[in-house]
Amino acid sequence: MHPGPMNRGVEIDSSIADGAQSVILHQVTNGIAVRMAVLALSMQGQLQEQALLDAIAD
């Protein structure tokens, strides 16, 4: 997934980025939600692991 913003003329030609089959803007839009979900899931796992360790220690 492309994280955006794209560097037109450097990493991608404008005609490709704006083409009918381009999904870059969709990737940028959805990428934020995907990264937030991955972060939330990883934090949830860490919190559950810490709660388990705390319960064992008590």
pLDDT given at position 56: 84
- One pLDDT digit (tens) per residue for the chain, 58 residues: 667 777 888 888 888 888 889 888 888 888 888 888 888 888 887 777 778 778 888 7
pTM strictly above 0.85: no
Reduced to 3 states (helix: H, G, I; strand: E, B; else coil), residue 20 is coil
Q: Which of 18, 42, 11 is nearest to 3 (CA)?
A: 11
User: Residue 2: its pLDDT value, please?
Assistant: 63
pLDDT of residue 29: 82
- Residue 1's pLDDT is 63
Q: Indicate the SS3 state at residue 8.
A: strand
